[in-house]
Structure 1
Amino acid sequence: MASSANVPEIPQDQGFISFYGNLPEKHATTLRFFDRGEYFTLHGQDALLASRDYFKTHSVVKMLGYGVKKLESVVLNKSHFENFAREVLLVKHYCIEIYTGSKSDWSLQYQASPGNLTQVEDLIFGSTDITSQVGILAFKIGTENQVGCSYIDTYARKFLVAQFADNDAFSNLESLIVQLSPKEVLIPPGDAYIPAKVVLNRHGLLVNESKKAEFSSAETVRLLNRLLRFKKGQQESAAALPEVDLEHSMAALAALVKHLDLMADETNFGQYTLLSFDFTQYMRLDSAASAALHLTSYGSESSIMLTAKSGAPRTIAALLNKCRTSGGQRLLAQWIKQPLTDKNRIERRLDIVETFVNNVQLRQTITEDHLRRMPDYQRLAKKLQKAKANLQDLFKLYLGLVRLPVLVDCLLEHEGEHSAVILAVLIQPLRNANEKLVKLKELVETTIDLKQADQGEFIIKADFDDQLGELKKELDESGLKAEGILSRVASDLKLETSKSVKLESNAQIGYYFRVTLKDEKNLRNNRNYHTIDTNKGGVRFRNSALEEVNEVYLRVRREYEQQQSSVVKEILSVAAGYVEPLQSLNDALSQLDVLTSFAVCSISAPIPYVRPTILEKGSGNIELIQVRHPCMELQDGVNFIPNDAVFEKDGHRFYIITGPNMGGKSTYLRSVGVAVLMAQVGCFVAASSATISIVDAILARVGAGDCHLKGVSTFMAEMIETANIIRTATKDSLVIIDELGRGTSTFDGFGLAWAIAE
């Protein structure tokens, strides 16, 4: 996967080997990285894991030390570190520790877990955006299986809480886990949590236990008063919020705040929102259904970008992901796990998708001209919030804001069908955000030198500050003097100015002359000039006159940058006051991005998708004509044969599918489930026509899965999952069971299937 060529040698330091050997024992699911400035290293079993799972070759492993004291080591440049650390945290669900120091003097600098990336966000997402949700869930079980849950997304700065009664199999908890997709779970110790751990293990979640004393709601109000961002005119007391009455949820929230140590960082104060999460407003999905329908994972692989070698998408998330923004990709992953059960909300999404399907110019203009040029406003807002932004971030933000009024005008041009929905759902939120951010756009135009920014140099306009203006004059004078020297040098070397010999400068060494390698002979053995360096781009050199000018230039430039830094700090502080409208803008753009993505996906299929007719929940009718599996039909060499599926409230509600092996039975079952799910997400479906009654749940049992890895037989796994289905299903649920009774003999399996069917 990655090359080990041109990697630096790790210093042969016995002191480090001794230090490493004396580190406290760690779990195999925690990796220790050592930051050595220009690169990172892994050692021991961590190094072997990186060579096996990331580099895919043992040749990158080098031995550190001599004699009997040797230590396996792997070097990762910064790009490899970012990629591997993201994979470790978000795919493997491991934890990482990052040490800094030298020789035998090292200290733990950063820690991160799948649900808490706060300390390492800037390190591992330095050159890319976060495209998936990152959150951590905690729950407390009370009497009569009352479950209080709290979810924290530190990236989006939000708390979600829910409290509900559950059954012995914790079906509601599992639905909530599927809908929120936490990367990590925090629970108290105790036997009461053993059945719930079975659910957590099914999802492969990292589970941490915290002391029971941490799960106390006594301090929650005090913590929330510091962390919450109250709305204008709202009473600034968490005690007045209805969510505070959810005792078990508040206890779980308090435990999470302490676990994440949110109170230690003042930039968290007044930044979080608290919301109740009603999982009943979404279709219930269990882990088996999510896996069977390949929503976001295929086998052991999980990614919103997951595709086969042929380029065909292998998951529904990858299929629908035509998003142009990082925020859109995050929202898409959320929507797929949270299909709607409200007919009006579904129809609203379908109206907008239909508009973009029918209006080709509008769709292409939005996706190609506008959305693809929008930055990740959520990430930029957070950098401003944490005082980690710079002028380049402000310029990125500005480039998107400049396009915003044009984007709004583009949407306003649509005056046909569904224009009222477009106005309410898309235009108004964008217009409101634009109005609130006009001053921020003006701030950037007033302070940043936009011409220089276009060239990649981010500086404050000289006329913004009197002292900067004086220093800029000195810099310009140095530039004019250097230009004059260039003319004399060109004449002396008998070369053409600005063609054969050029005057250039950079931030590190200032002004210098450069000639091509072809003209180097004119410079050779000339004592009036001294060479700085030679490379394939030519020879860089100076004479004594340019040395004097450059010395003044570098001194003034340092003074300019020093004066500019205080101005920049003040500007970024003002910009940080616009975090809330930037978050609102991110939400509006993300929604637009996902809905246009649905439209692009619908019209780019081999046979265009159709708009489903949605019936109220309880109607009991599903009619899918010529339904196809949207991922399967995109694979190379597949001639997909569509099928019908018809369910009637007072007629056929139960089907037994039979046929030969490899006949397409499982694909047919999945096609029906995927069509219903896509419709309730708000997307068109792969069929020639579709009428779908809203279902409250999709419950599935397809394949033996990896039950052998979990220490249970195929038959036991089948019984557990089937029992969960029977316990959870209602008259409005869609149940998909493939090869019921496969884990036992044919005779017993038939009897079992018959009993369950009845």
Structure 2
Amino acid sequence: MSPPKLTPMLQQYLEIKEQYPGTILFYRMGDFYEMFFEDAELASKVLGITLTSRSHKDDANKIPMCGVPFHAVSGYLGKMVKAGYRVAICEQVEDPKAAKGIVKREVIRVVSPGVTTEDQLLDAKNDCYVSALVLTKKSNKELLAGLAFVDISTGRFQLAEIAYPHNNPASLVDTFTRMRPAELLIAQDECKQLAPITEQLSSELGQLCLTPRPDFQFETEAATTTLTEHFKTSNLAGFGCDQFTVAINAAGALLHYLHETQKTELAHIKQLTPLHQSGYLIIDDSSRRNLELTETLIGGQRQGSLLAALDATQTPMGARLLRRWLLFPLQDKQSIEGRLESVEELIHNGEIRRNLQQLLSEVYDLERLCSRLVLGHGNARDMAAIKTSLAGLPSLHHLLAQCSAPLLIQMTESFDVLADLHELIDAAIRDDAPISLREGKLICEGYNEELDHLLLLLRDGKKLILDLETKERERSGISKLKVGYNKVFGYYFEVSRAQAANLPEDYIRKQTLVNAERFITPELKELENSIITAQDRRLELEYELFSEVREKLTEQDHRLLQTAEILAQIDVLTNFAELAVKHRYCRPTLDQSRSLDIQEGRHPVIERSLPPGRFVPNDVHLDQEAQEVLIITGPNMAGKSTVLRQTALIVLMAHIGSFVPAESAELCLVDRIFTRVGAMDDLRHGQSTFMVEMNETANILNNATTDSLVILDEIGRGTSTYDGLSIAWAVAEELAQKDKLGVKTLFATHYHELTDLAATNSRIKNFSIAVKEWNDTIIFLHKLIQGATNRSYGIQVASLAGVPDHVIKRASEILKNIELGEYTPQGEPKIAKSAGRKKIAPQPRQMALFAPPYSPTVDFLSSLQPDDMTPREALELLYKAVELAQKE
């Protein structure tokens, strides 16, 4: 079979495709983006479009082909990228009318899961990071990871270094799960070595696009050069990053990748920020999941999470900032107090708060709009959105200037209302401008003299010709001079043959008729040419003017981004104030003690799901003197887990500068919040429920400090009762004694034996969730009270859950049997007794007055290990036992 014949166009396609391996090439042909060969077969399946062929359908060498219309490319592009593919956009960079031979084409950008500015691909409320990873050996026991993250849609560029033990990359994985990048770059030669890490990250993050890159880009010299040339500095000391040698390698490779894929200067990436681990309250990935900070534990939905409950922000920038604050809670008291003071002022001044929110609701996503302009993707509608956003800034600044909180004053002083940029867009860009930049109707009349003239020609061309006719009648003195038109000569002046001799000298004869003469003048031909070419020139000029405006805005991108950052902070703070007013939150008091005292605390998520007034608030006090570890008992569904979680969430909310759902809250700053909640197999890592429990418990015991808060819910349920009880006891004991000061801990359990711990340590106290027994059932009071309970009420809960009555009755009988003892006097297991079975009268028993005499037979039998015997050995030992008994 002969190979398929390649046209010049297909040869060009394959040459460009070769330059971009690992991508799907969207190749522009007229009004479509076409794909060929394997790309077409893949894209047709992913996009659900028809696969055709380039040649005749009966041709054995037909070339697979499919295409999508250019005006709808964003939707198709979104499907490809969300499916995990990288797409190279190849455009015609030459006018087909002026092309000699095949039209010149070039890839103008590459879109990938982590590198995109398309609205259809971005979640307005989440950052979209592309990351890079470099690993090196720090010592015989430790590895050093260099990480870099960029959100190209906002220009945020961060790096970090993390040291971790060879066999425990938990801290590295935790950073990735907090940042949640969509794409990860690694060196090509490191793919096999990094496979265990990348597989774990893919498992934790879901769909992670892995992108191998040339090794030289990760080398120190090349990476440093890439960074310093971009930032136009001699070194990176000014960013506080010069000591991050390994992370700089990752950052340089990442920036090189962005330059290569975006084909532009990336001017909106203006600084490199260290992602410090210190200075923030640490909540590991397991605890973030258990507390459902950003998504629910079941289903992974945003709705039902703490983030969703706290997010009533007005702008996308504010929503993203709130998420970052929640994932990186502050630990600096002064910074937290600065936020709290701002929130308090906005609570007390409701009119300013409401007006700020109204103005913020009219602000679009300035961060991403600015980035689109800088990258050359922005259109006139993006500029119109920027203009609308800037229109309210003077009023917003005026409102802010009335505030007295130090943080708000600082924002006021830094606030740039960008009046000149608003004026520029308002004067230049039409409100009804289309998305396309090549269709005209972009620029306002009055902005450019030449464009105004072209618009006049297009709108009033015939009138201008008639005006010239009137002018020439007056100049020539020939009242019957008239303008005509034909396809051969275009426009002309016509007069009678008798009057031709009286025409001015600049008239040029073009045609002689029987009774008339036709002439042209330079002015007439110039006007005609202007009218004929006006539309093409108008489209060209409007694009040029738009590009000039875009360039002027791009030059001021630092001002736009700074204002966007301030607007995001105002948005989050007014959001906190609105939540506090609407849901009766109080300002937490932060002190230097090591105690937590929450009065009438509530769960910020569960409270909203119940009718008003139905949620039962609870008090929680923890200190490191008299009440450090609380052992909380009570039935399922009574509310133990709610009390535990709400305590952690109240502490967390205080650390992000929010008011909290409580009557009052006096809190110390904590360094970490640990949780061990629920029981669930981790099938991705082949771990059982018990193994997951023990991993999380080990992490707590190894890393909790005296400044930490620990939340434990049902330790030891994944193994046998006695093993679980023993482990739970030892864990509680260790937390009460760790570093001689112990760790503030809430410990919910069904092991009632743990309540005996309170007798062994004065810092351990027993609490329970109150219930009321009524008519053989129970009523949950959901109230935390001091003192232990010795009942779990499991059978009553089972009844409430709808377990059949006869099963409930039988369970009650079995429970009574167990409580009376394990065996009947006849040796029958009491767990098997039933009221419906024949009762055997008990035989009287007399307790012996003296201890039984020593028995060699009993002693011999008690020393045996039957499980370790062969049948023959067992028979021989049985004969020996009989022999001993006969001697007695």
- Return the alpha-carbon distance in structure 2 between the equivalents of residues 30 and 711 of structure 1: 33
Deviations 1:39-92 (A, max 9, x none): 999998988888xxxxxxxxx8989899999xx9999999998679768867x8
Letter in structure 2 aligned against 1:594: V
The aligned counterpart of 1:282 is: 280
In structure 2, the residue corresponding to 1:273 is in which secondary structure?
coil
- 412, 420, 423: which one pairs with 1:439? 420
Deviations 1:147-172 (A, max 9, x none): 33222222222432223433453444
Q: How does 1:289-438 map to 2 (within 5 A)?
A: 289-299=287-297, 301-302=299-300, 306=302, 313-368=303-358, 370-414=359-403, 418-424=404-410, 426-430=411-415, 433-434=416-417, 437-438=418-419
Deviations 1:672-704 (A, max 9, x none): 111111111111111121122111111222223
1:253 aligns with 2:251: yes
The aligned counterpart of 2:115 is: 116
The aligned counterpart of 1:518 is: none
Deviation at 1:448?
4.0
Letter in structure 2 aligned against 1:227: H
1:735 aligns with 2:710: yes
- 596, 602, 608: which one pairs with 1:622? 596
The aligned counterpart of 2:692 is: 717
- Return the alpha-carbon distance in structure 1 between the equivalents of residues 697 and 42 of structure 2: 40
Letter in structure 1 aligned against 2:570: L
The question of whether the paired residues in 2 share the 8 Å contact of 1:175 and 1:284 is answered with no
After superposing the two structures, state which structure 1 stretch, 629-638 or 681-690, moved more. Answer: 629-638
What's the C-alpha RMSD, in Å, of the aligned pairs?
4.6
Letter in structure 2 aligned against 1:169: N
Deviation at 1:389?
2.6
Q: Which has the higher contact order (CA 8 A, sep 6+)?
A: 1
1:225 aligns with 2:199: no
Q: How does 1:40-189 map to 2 (within 5 A)?
A: 94-97=84-87, 112-117=111-116, 121-122=117-118, 124-125=120-121, 129=124, 131-144=126-139, 145=142, 146-167=144-165, 169-187=168-186, 189=190
The aligned counterpart of 1:535 is: none
Deviation at 1:95?
3.7
For structure 1, list consecutive stretches of 5 or more residues without a partner in the other structure.
1-14, 16-23, 51-59, 231-235, 307-312, 482-550
Deviation at 1:631?
1.1
Sort the Cα spacing of 1:677 and 1:130 in 2 relative to 1 into closer, same or farther, 3 A: closer
The aligned counterpart of 1:611 is: 587
The aligned counterpart of 2:520 is: none
- 564, 569, 576: which one pairs with 2:547? 569
- Return the alpha-carbon distance in structure 2 between the equivalents of residues 111 and 706 of structure 1: 40
The aligned counterpart of 1:501 is: none
Return the structure number with greater helix share: 1
The question of whether the paired residues in 1 share the 8 Å contact of 2:347 and 2:578 is answered with yes
Letter in structure 2 aligned against 1:471: L
Q: How does 1:306-705 map to 2 (within 5 A)?
A: 306=302, 313-368=303-358, 370-414=359-403, 418-424=404-410, 426-430=411-415, 433-434=416-417, 437-448=418-429, 459-477=442-460, 556-605=534-583, 608-616=584-592, 619-636=593-610, 639-705=614-680
Sort the Cα spacing of 1:740 and 1:80 in 2 relative to 1 into closer, same or farther, 3 A: farther
- Return the alpha-carbon distance in structure 2 between the equivalents of residues 746 and 81 of structure 1: 60
In structure 1, the residue corresponding to 2:361 is in which secondary structure?
helix
The question of whether the paired residues in 2 share the 8 Å contact of 1:140 and 1:148 is answered with yes
- Return the alpha-carbon distance in structure 2 between the equivalents of residues 47 and 452 of structure 1: 33
Deviations 1:697-754 (A, max 9, x none): 1122222345023312112222222222222211111122222112111111111112
Sort the Cα spacing of 1:446 and 1:136 in 2 relative to 1 into closer, same or farther, 3 A: same
Q: How does 1:258-269 map to 2 (within 5 A)?
A: 258-260=256-258, 262=260, 265-268=263-266
Deviations 1:88-112 (A, max 9, x none): 867x8x34547889xxxx9999754
Deviation at 1:278?
1.2
In structure 1, the residue corresponding to 2:330 is in which secondary structure?
coil
Letter in structure 2 aligned against 1:465: N
Sort the Cα spacing of 1:573 and 1:691 in 2 relative to 1 into closer, same or farther, 3 A: same
In structure 1, the residue corresponding to 2:629 is in which secondary structure?
coil
Larger Cα-atom Rg: 2
The aligned counterpart of 1:8 is: none
- Return the alpha-carbon distance in structure 2 between the equivalents of residues 568 and 193 of structure 1: 47
The aligned counterpart of 1:509 is: none
Identity rate, percent: 26
Deviation at 1:294?
0.8
TM-score normalised by length of structure 2? 0.62
Deviation at 1:650?
1.4
Sort the Cα spacing of 1:39 and 1:198 in 2 relative to 1 into closer, same or farther, 3 A: closer
Deviation at 1:590?
0.8
Deviation at 1:648?
0.9
Deviation at 1:554?
8.9
The question of whether the paired residues in 2 share the 8 Å contact of 1:324 and 1:372 is answered with yes
- Return the alpha-carbon distance in structure 1 between the equivalents of residues 679 and 24 of structure 2: 32
Sort the Cα spacing of 1:192 and 1:738 in 2 relative to 1 into closer, same or farther, 3 A: farther
Deviations 1:249-278 (A, max 9, x none): 122223333454548723226844112221
Letter in structure 2 aligned against 1:378: E
Letter in structure 1 aligned against 2:304: R
The question of whether the paired residues in 2 share the 8 Å contact of 1:151 and 1:161 is answered with yes
- Return the alpha-carbon distance in structure 2 between the equivalents of residues 125 and 348 of structure 1: 36
In structure 2, the residue corresponding to 1:152 is in which secondary structure?
strand
The question of whether the paired residues in 1 share the 8 Å contact of 2:268 and 2:374 is answered with no
The aligned counterpart of 1:525 is: none
In structure 1, the residue corresponding to 2:241 is in which secondary structure?
helix
The question of whether the paired residues in 2 share the 8 Å contact of 1:134 and 1:183 is answered with yes
In structure 2, the residue corresponding to 1:464 is in which secondary structure?
coil
The aligned counterpart of 1:11 is: none
Deviation at 1:653?
1.5
In structure 2, the residue corresponding to 1:690 is in which secondary structure?
strand
The question of whether the paired residues in 1 share the 8 Å contact of 2:235 and 2:242 is answered with no
- Return the alpha-carbon distance in structure 2 between the equivalents of residues 585 and 193 of structure 1: 41
Deviation at 1:413?
2.9
- Return the alpha-carbon distance in structure 2 between the equivalents of residues 391 and 108 of structure 1: 23
The aligned counterpart of 2:97 is: none
Deviations 1:623-662 (A, max 9, x none): 1122221111222569322222111121212122222222
After superposing the two structures, state which structure 1 stretch, 278-287 or 382-391, moved more. Answer: 382-391
The question of whether the paired residues in 1 share the 8 Å contact of 2:74 and 2:118 is answered with no
Sort the Cα spacing of 1:43 and 1:673 in 2 relative to 1 into closer, same or farther, 3 A: farther
For structure 2, list consecutive stretches of 5 or more residues without a partner in the other structure.
1-5, 7-16, 92-104, 465-528, 735-888
Deviation at 1:449?
5.6
Sort the Cα spacing of 1:38 and 1:251 in 2 relative to 1 into closer, same or farther, 3 A: closer
Letter in structure 2 aligned against 1:566: E
The question of whether the paired residues in 2 share the 8 Å contact of 1:83 and 1:124 is answered with yes
The question of whether the paired residues in 2 share the 8 Å contact of 1:131 and 1:327 is answered with no
